Amino acid sequence: MPRLESCAWSCSCTARGRHRTQLGGTAAGLAAKVGEMLSSSVSSPSLAMVGRGARSPSTSSASSTTSTTSSSSSSDSSSSTLNWSQHLVQRSVVLFVVGAFMALVLNLLQIQRNVTLFPDEVISTLFSSAWWVPPCCGTAAAVVGLLYPCIDSHLGEPHKFKREWASVMRCIAVFVGINHASAKLDFANNVQLSLTLAALSLGLWWTFDRSRSGLGLGITIAFVATLITQFLVYNGVYQYTSPDFLYIRSWLPCIFFSGGVTVGNIGRQLAMGIPEKPHND
């Protein structure tokens, strides 16, 4: 009996040990699986955070590079716009001064030769000329001098013929000579004088310009200026002695044509080296 009881006790103890071992192994396996799940769940967000952190410097650097490029381009555009505006104002002032001075000198010559007559009440002490002549001629010179290079650029016909100040000064001298000839030369009739001045004006254009835009603008300026002069003379602002062409002298369009070509060459020379006007894409 003791042997049977001891055998039964040992068997029961062995079974209990095996059951406990199986339970321990199962618990350990469950714990390992739970640990693996927890570690995977923790590692995946951390990897995502690390990935986001790795991408954020490149994104920030790209955005900073884009902002830097845009700011530099905007600053370059604003500076080029400012330079272009300053250059335009400087050219306008120079052309205005040149036009006003030439108007005073040439008008004085016409008055002294009694070609142009102003009423006594509008004659000022400055070069014995009317006060409105210099500002009007200066404004016209500024407009014409700015218009010539603008038309050249739009027509795709850049003026490259003798672009130097020596040529411009010779053109001014020839224009003053044509104006002087209109007041000094005596012909049998005004038709001969007009034809002579027309030939001289075309020779001035051929010598110092030779561009289609210069010829077209010169003819347009002569036509418009002649109409304005006729309107002023008709309203009694001033008058010409011996008028032979609708209250004015027939050679006056030749003077306007040569004057337009001369001022246009001055404007073209001043436009050399001008910064390009910025374009908004």
Q: What pLDDT, on a 0 to 100 scale, did the predictor assign at position 112?
A: 73
**What is the residue extent of each domain of the chain?**
93-273
- What is the pTM assigned to this prediction? 0.67
Phi, psi of 117 (to 5 degrees): -120, 125
Q: What pLDDT, on a 0 to 100 scale, did the predictor assign at position 45?
A: 44
Q: What is the pLDDT of residues 54-106, one digit of tens each?
A: 444 444 454 455 555 555 556 666 776 778 788 889 999 999 999 999 988 88
Q: What pLDDT, on a 0 to 100 scale, did the predictor assign at position 71?
A: 56
Burial of 201 by CB count in 10 Å (0-12 exposed, 13-18 middle, 19+ buried)? buried
DSSP state, residue 189: S
For the stretch 88-91, contacts whose Cβ atoms lie closer than 8 Å and that sit 24 or more positions apart, written own/partner, are: 88/146, 91/145, 91/146, 91/267, 91/270, 91/271, 91/274
- Cβ(104)–Cβ(141) below 8 Å: no
Question: Cα dihedral sign for 246, 252, 254, 257?
Answer: negative
Q: How far apart are CA 201 and CA 204, in angstroms?
A: 5
Q: Which residues of the chain have pLDDT under 50?
A: 1-15, 17-24, 27, 34, 38, 41-60, 62-63, 124, 276, 278-281
- 28 contact partners, CB below 8 Å, separation of at least 6: none
Q: What pLDDT, on a 0 to 100 scale, did the predictor assign at position 51?
A: 44
Question: In terms of Cα–Cα distance, which of 145, 175, 151 is closest to 268?
Answer: 145
Q: What pLDDT, on a 0 to 100 scale, did the predictor assign at position 19?
A: 44
